[in-house]
Amino acid sequence: MKDVVYSITTENKLSIDFSFKSPFRVLLTGTSGSGKTTILNLINGSLKPQKGYVNLLSHGKKSSDSIPTVDQTPYIFDTTIRENVTLFQNEYFSDDQIIEVLKKVNLYEELEKIDILNYQCGENGSNLSGGQKQTIAFARALIR
């Protein structure tokens, strides 16, 4: 991002200038309304900057389609953790791969006393805490 400016109102003006070398991972944190989602939307092309430009290249190709994002309130299906993490594409991921991702997001340790992969999440994750729902969404992004 080079000299990017984006503003919805005159009070909240976002001005950004940064670059990364591939490969990289970034964690955006901040208070509610500080611009985290706006930055992601600028990067993935959902929003266009009012000034400046976003240049996202990977091996000479535009790579904004390969940026995983995690929704603040992810939908959790009324099925197992395995199917929620793989989004019903179980045949593409081994149990070991899924467990490894669950360990990376610290959900495995939280629920290791149960058969975690076959644990029933309940309708929209009714058997999970809010944090566990978001953690499943992180696992979805990491496994891809």
Task: Determine the pLDDT at residue 114.
Answer: 87
Domain of residue 57, residue span: 2-66
Same domain, 26 and 58: yes
Q: How many structural domains are present in the chain? A: 2
Same domain, 50 and 100: no
To the nearest whole number, what is the mean pLDDT of the chain?
84
C-beta contacts of 19-25 below 8 A and 24+ residues apart: 22/58
Of 3-12, 90-99, 109-118, 122-131, the poorest mean pLDDT is in 3-12
Q: How far apart, in Å, are the Cα atoms of 65 and each of 41, 99, 142?
A: 12, 26, 15
Q: Which among 34, 43, 44, 45 is positioned nearest to 8, based on CA atoms?
A: 34
66-85: average pLDDT: 87
> Which residue among 66, 99, 121 closes a domain?
66
| CB atoms inside a 10 Å sphere around CB 26 | 10
Conformational region of residue 2, where left means phi above 0, alpha means psi within -120 to 50, and beta covers everything else = beta
Task: Determine the pLDDT at residue 65.
Answer: 55
Distance CA 4, CA 33 (A): 18
Same domain, 94 and 137: yes
> Which residue among 66, 97, 112 closes a domain?
66
pLDDT digits (tens, 9 = 90+) for 81-108: 999 999 999 999 999 999 999 999 999 9
User: Is residue 76 assigned to a domain?
Assistant: no
Task: Determine the pLDDT at residue 57.
Answer: 61
**Contact assessment for residue 121 and residue 77, using Cβ atoms and an 8 Å cutoff:** yes
pLDDT digits (tens, 9 = 90+) for 9-35: 777 777 878 777 777 777 778 887 788
Q: 108: helix, coil or strand?
A: helix
**Contact assessment for residue 7 and residue 50, using Cβ atoms and an 8 Å cutoff:** yes
Same domain, 30 and 60: yes
